[in-house]
Structure 1
């Protein structure tokens, strides 16, 4: 396969893999309630309760929009199951030279990127690239993090809990999101404070959730993000309905809003047909040799 095709494939894998990072959103609650907040609950307590509820989420369906450093504007809709791990996302990046949306599927230890006509033109008719996470990394060459896929196995509820690390959480007001009455909270928090809060909460947070949050924080540090302004919209059932995170990274602003549609509904994702798929690990091995 031509060198230019390999370079193009690597670039598309990197850009689309970054979309996997966008999976790091917030907890979601779709049940409706007449009241968006208990009158006796403080802002910090409301945020803490929603964060605790997010730990129980097994699957999510959400929409995302905003700006990603180095990528520009993005919009996406995704569904993800944590156990077993599976994800399907369709992403559009209008500031990138792509024809139509890019689809990402995560099935087991493999990530598939592509699914549109522009991919097929550059991949000898194959419209999907496969990133085998077990084959990548562990020695010379590319690894999953370098491809931007290091966050692919992150629970999308992890980042919403970061608002609990803020020392200045305040109530902004009440708003309706997707037909659901919610209470809007806001706070500022640094990555250093978030890491410190994780250590303080080691005894109350299970190991899996703590590791997911630590991986997310490491990824943000690599992007050059030192602090966030966090917004959370909590419904009357103490779940986060919408979540926004804003910060400055090395390559520009990070500003993402996640609106959550369903929780704990079945998610089924299948791998693309093998005849339509090019294996990136094999391509890179060929390039190295």
Structure 2
């Protein structure tokens, strides 16, 4: 593979890193039990701010409806300022399902192409059956016998390590990649300062706005992969994160009159800068059919690296 092709493969891996990096802000923990009935988001709007109990009921009901919907269309933006050398933004749009986990999105933005003239203006990414597929573009196809899709089977890569703990950590992270909005709602219910902000319009829809803050310790506790850490490693991770100045995650939610999340925002502020993730959801319950690219158009990066003797 030529040098430029390797650069494009690097762009694809950057895209994977972005998706998994966003996933690090999400929950993969236990579900919350939702009541059989709860007020709609607009039920308390005319009478002023909702109490903490009423806000909790609305979010529990939204969790239940979102879990049952199983799929939606999504537009997501991640922006980073002052955190490390790679400040910038990336936009993702497409469809996703969380029962079963699948995703078909298109990515574009400065974080994808920064400093790489060989990077495509946008990249399509598919997740299906624990495998990521990234469209490396027409230039890639010309140099790889028509194969423009790079396949990255993290399950196979995890198995090759021979380390059961590592296998569980890598494959468990695949579920996080899917950005399950229902689990994000479940996590927000853990916020001790959850509150109702008021009525707002989002993309022409009447919504109710909620906000809560979670500490890093609370986020880590709810994430399944953290259970693999020893107490020593867990304490070390907490100490290292505190050195960055990260005090917690500011989470905001906008719920429509139909009881579905229209928008979710997660903000993180550290000593060096900030990161914000915004996800807008529509068409809950949409029927999606995510398909893997044809095998003839795909090359397996992991197998290629193994063949070259690369660790």
Q: Same fold (TM over 0.5)?
A: yes
Shift of 1:229: 0.7
Distance 1:111 1:194, change over 3 A: closer
Distance 1:181 1:150, change over 3 A: closer
2:126 corresponds in structure 1 to 105
State the distance in 1 between where 2:104 and 2:218 align. Answer: 32
- Whether 1:282 and 2:291 are equivalent positions in the alignment is no
Output one character per residue of 1:209-238: Cα deviation in whole Å (capped at 9) or x when no partner: xxxx535999xx799565111111011232
Tell me which of the two structures has the higher relative contact order, counting C-alpha pairs closer than 8 angstroms and 6 or more residues apart. Answer: 1
2:224 corresponds in structure 1 to 214
2:51 corresponds in structure 1 to 42
State the distance in 2 between where 1:67 and 1:100 align. Answer: 17
Equivalenced residues, count: 264
Query: Could you say what secondary structure the match of 1:14 adopts?
Result: helix
Shift of 1:3: 6.9
Shift of 1:188: 1.5
Distance 1:75 1:251, change over 3 A: farther
Which of 124, 127, 141 pairs up with 2:148? 127
Shift of 1:127: 1.5
Q: Considering only aligned residues, what root-mean-square deviation do their CA atoms show, in Å?
A: 3.7
**Largest Rg, 1 or 2:** 2
Shift of 1:193: 2.7
TM superposition score normalised by structure 2: 0.70
Query: Could you say what secondary structure the match of 2:155 adopts?
Result: coil
Shift of 1:136: 1.3
**Structure 2 runs not aligned, ≥5 long:** 28-39, 114-118, 229-236
Alignment of 1:45-124 (within 5 A): 45=56, 46-68=58-80, 70=86, 72-97=88-113, 98-114=119-135, 116-120=137-141, 123=144
Alignment of 1:184-223 (within 5 A): 184-194=209-219, 198=222, 214-215=224-225
Output one character per residue of 1:120-139: Cα deviation in whole Å (capped at 9) or x when no partner: 36656422101123321134
Output one character per residue of 1:19-71: Cα deviation in whole Å (capped at 9) or x when no partner: 43346779xxxxxxx97243595244233432343333311211111315646
Q: Does the 8 Å CA contact 1:81/1:87 hold for their aligned counterparts?
A: yes
Output one character per residue of 1:98-142: Cα deviation in whole Å (capped at 9) or x when no partner: 322111112223211015335436656422101123321134499
State the distance in 1 between where 2:195 and 2:184 align. Answer: 18
Q: Does the 8 Å CA contact 1:19/1:91 hold for their aligned counterparts?
A: no
State the distance in 1 between where 2:42 and 2:275 align. Answer: 28
1:253 corresponds in structure 2 to 274
Query: Could you say what secondary structure the match of 1:265 adopts?
Result: coil
Shift of 1:276: 2.1
